[in-house]
Amino acid sequence: MDHEVVVRRKMTESYLLGELDPAAREEFEAHFFECVDCALDVRTGSLFVEQSKILLAAKPGPVAVDSRPPIPVASKPGWLAWLRPALTVPVMALLLVVVGYQNLVTYPQLEQAMNRPRVLPFAAVNLGTYGSGDQVISVGPEQGFLLMVRIPPDSYPRHTADLYNAAGKLEWSLTFPSLSTGTQDQWPLQVPGAKREAGSYSLIVHGLADSGESKEVGRTSFELQIQK
């Protein structure tokens, strides 16, 4: 997917709002794993959404009760009355602090980390060895890693890899095109960093035909260890 298309269609905002259809979501996820700018946009947007939810969910402090009879008013306040300065000024000030911290600290740190050469933990896994448990990957908290997946030769133009976590739930799905038969049978799949639990993870690969037919071509598993 071309970066200019992502910007023009505002796919980052649609992704964060959950407005992309499954096919467009898969294409965008495959794109931002390789695009530094889009990865930073997604991470920063996620942080902003989380902070906004926390601020909007905060309960107001206790209000003193006035025992005097109410004074009639000429008209009722409109639905924008909640935008009174007593509430909006502290909220906007906190949001400005969050945005400023992201621009001055989070952005530079993420960009530096993503542009810096590094060696990722990895494991070479072969499809068809499901349940063997002989491959172990040891990672730090929320650290990404590589899976060198060996896929048996077939005639499918595309494949889909589904990663299931230790609880048996689908964590993510990635569709990628196949190369010409015999040119490559081992694929380096980058698993992005996330908060994960240690345990046995499963990878299931399906072949996708041009007609839309999907067939499982193999599965494997590995043991994920989280360093303390």
Higher pLDDT, 176 or 98: 176
pLDDT for residue 201 is more than 90: yes
CA distance 172 to 219: 15
99 and 129 belong to one structural domain: no
* Residues 132-151: tens digit of each pLDDT: 457 899 998 888 898 988 88
**Is residue 64 a part of any domain in this protein?**
no
Higher pLDDT, 95 or 111: 95
**Among the listed residues 119, 102, 120, the one whose alpha carbon sits nearest the alpha carbon of residue 111:** 102
Which residues make Cβ contacts (< 8 Å) with residue 198, sequence separation at least 6?
166, 224, 225, 226
Residue 51, H or E segment:
helix 36-57
**Is residue 39 a part of any domain in this protein?**
yes
C-alpha dihedral, 184 to 29 to 130 to 133, nearest 10°: 100
Higher pLDDT, 137 or 99: 137
47 and 111 belong to one structural domain: yes
Which whole number is the average pLDDT over 111-125? 69
pLDDT at 130: 47
pLDDT at 62: 62
pLDDT band at 188 (very low <50, low <70, confident <90, very high): confident
pLDDT at 199: 93
What tokens does 38 get?
């889009």
Domain with 91, as residue range(s), is 3-58+84-115
Contact present, 209 and 192 (Cβ < 8 Å): no
CA distance 156 to 206: 9
pTM for this model (two decimals) = 0.49
Domain count, the chain: 2
pLDDT for residue 9 is more than 60: yes
180 and 97 belong to one structural domain: no
183 and 203 belong to one structural domain: yes
pLDDT at 186: 75
96 and 183 belong to one structural domain: no
**Is residue 140 a part of any domain in this protein?**
yes
Last residue of a domain, one of 115, 131, 157: 115
What CATH number is attached to the domain comprising 140? Answer: 2.60.40.2550
111 and 162 belong to one structural domain: no
Please give the angle made by the CA atoms of 47, 48 and 49, to the nearest 5 degrees: 90
88 and 145 belong to one structural domain: no
* Residues 35-44: tens digit of each pLDDT: 777 777 777 7
52 and 126 belong to one structural domain: no
135 and 195 belong to one structural domain: yes
pLDDT for residue 131 is more than 50: no
* Least confident segment among 21-25, 33-37, 70-74, 119-123: 70-74
17 and 43 belong to one structural domain: yes
**Is residue 73 a part of any domain in this protein?**
no
